[in-house]
Amino acid sequence: MSQRQPGSHKFKQVKPHKVSSRYMRPRWERFVSQDINGMMLIEGVPIDKIMEKYGTPLYVLVESEIRSRLKRFKKVFGTNIALQYAVKCNSNLEILRMVREEGFELDCSSVGELILGLLADFKPKQLTFTNLFKTEQDIHFAIKIGVQSITADSIEEIEHIAKTAKKLRKHIDTVIRVNPMFELGSYSTKGNKYGIPLKYVERGVDLARKSPYVDFKGFHFMGGYVYNPRVFKIAARIFAKLIRQCLDKGIRVQSLSLGGGFPAAIGEEEAFPIERMKDFPKYFERLMHRYDIPPLQLIFEPGKSIVLNAGIGLMKVISKKRLGKSSRMVIADGSTYNFIPDALVQSTVKYDILPASKMNERRIHTVTIAGNTCDCWDLIRQGIDMPKLRSGDLLAAMDVGAYAQVMSSNFNTIRRPGMIMLYADGTAKLIRRRDRYSEMFAPELDVLKMAGPDELEKYHNMYRVNIDKIWKGKMKKDSRGKNGQTGQDRDSLTKLSVYKMIEKDAVLENGKKKK
């Protein structure tokens, strides 16, 4: 980061020390280290300093790691293959801006993601619209802005797109998603919900071709958790035959997307080594030559593998509980609902949780790390060995850059955490603030009219008081004042007066606005 950006903060970087192998995985070595006292460093910045500035829970995205992975994909696939970032993995506008700067397009799964792409300065022709169903309004919006293509996921959706296009009298560039119905080892598409099964694809193509306003452009393969590069080669051969059949009927095919699904590592999982795909461009060229297929646009859609390992979730220990001789519970201020929901949705996901403020200490206890919501299922990680933890200690949930934030909810009416981008020079930029209650309540208040904006603003002002800045060091709780009051008593009176002052200021401010 060569220049300070608006809203950024420059942290002082400290001398990094190597992290013990008990807490380090190779995929973090480029940006994670520790200081001499065992405090985790991210890009040389102590996480306790990050916490002091931004609070917890907090997502930290490492800019250098995201760019490195974007460049790796570009290097492997070259310039002739289009790469489209899967927005659903992490749709933050700052990440989308970086994706655009590195020469990627976007694979969008909703109108909301299309709008985000436009806000991030992508051209409409750099956006594809791929999901299982689109309303008439969705299709109209996509046509109006001029997206690259719309993907039809089923025979019914081709009919729906054709009917909508005819009603609008607008041509729609359409790609048909295909389920090639094959297996390789543990990988299988036969039970997959995406795409038209292979034996019905000819019907779908004919339907699209007969629709006057549907312009058939090509095919799409969903990919999905592909650990073996041979999967893409088998899929490519199936699609080559399908494309050849279309050409024999005089149907031109201009594009083929082989999807994404390059697995990224969480915990003990192994990542897909994208470098194993370096021979694929040449393989695909030979395949096209073998089937005498004219040049077409090949597309891949990486997402999770770009951002997952670049994200770290910072939490604070709020309590510990001894539940028996061998059962210990640690409560953190994050949760599986509002912070890292993958741990709740997928039972096989086991995040690495590091004792971020005690990296020098050994693992001595097996504990369950639980979230702070009122729900018994809110267990972030069970059966993990940790050092002795106390209230105030910091924890780092690793590999949370994909899906965690976009899947998080306001369960218990809790505001979702903020997110920062951390740069190699120690500069941090807030790229998403915490939710506001006004935003959370708006869908109900807009229709029920149960409270006005002034009432909500009053509660907001009361809540946002910075206790430390107002009262820290002002009173001695054990000292006695006049009338026998303790410092704690006087604190209570002071808080009440401050609240009244805030309410008065809010009323005066609203009065000025009305005038």
CB atoms within 10 A of CB 152: 30
Tokens of 427: 């500069």
pLDDT tens, residue order, the chain (515 aa): 445 567 799 999 999 999 999 999 999 999 999 999 999 999 999 999 999 999 999 999 999 999 999 999 999 999 999 999 999 999 999 999 999 999 999 999 999 999 999 999 999 999 999 999 999 999 999 999 999 999 999 999 999 999 999 999 999 999 999 999 999 999 999 999 999 999 999 999 999 999 999 999 999 999 888 989 999 999 999 999 999 999 999 999 999 999 998 989 999 988 888 999 999 999 999 999 999 999 999 999 999 999 999 999 999 999 999 998 878 999 999 999 999 997 777 777 889 999 999 999 999 999 999 999 999 999 999 999 999 999 999 999 999 999 999 999 999 999 999 999 999 999 999 999 999 998 999 899 889 988 877 888 888 888 877 777 666 555 444 444 444 444 444 444 444 555 555 555 555 555 555 55
Cβ proximity of 207 and 156 under 8 Å = no
Tell me which DSSP letter residue 126 carries.
Answer: G
State which H helix or E strand residue 75 sits in.
Answer: helix 63-77
The domains of the chain are located at 8-63+308-432, 123-302, 438-514
In the chain, the N- to C-terminal Cα span, in Å, equals 45
Tokens of 513: 């606005």
pLDDT at 349: 82
Tokens of 259: 């999807």
Query: How many residues can be counted in the chain?
Result: 515
pLDDT at 449: 81
Cβ proximity of 320 and 332 under 8 Å = no
Tokens of 226: 């592909």
d(CA 205, CA 244): 13
Helix (H, G, I), strand (E, B) or coil at 206: helix
User: What's the sign of the alpha-carbon dihedral 329, 331, 336, 337?
Assistant: positive
| Fold topology of 123-302 | TIM Barrel (3.20.20)
Indicate the residue type of 320. Answer: K
CA distances to 317, 333, 340, 354 from 393, in Å = 5, 11, 19, 11
Tell me which DSSP letter residue 260 carries.
Answer: B
Query: Which residues on adjacent β-strands are paired with residue 172?
Result: 214
pLDDT at 492: 43
Residue 303: alpha-carbon gap to chain centroid = 9
Residue 16: alpha-carbon gap to chain centroid = 28
Asked if CATH classification 1.10.287.130 holds for the domain at 8-63+308-432, the reply, yes or no, is: no
pLDDT at 194: 96
d(CA 453, CA 413): 18
State which H helix or E strand residue 127 sits in.
Answer: strand 127-130
Instruction: Give the global pTM.
Output: 0.89
Label the pairing between strands 214-220 and 105-108: unpaired
Cβ proximity of 304 and 344 under 8 Å = no
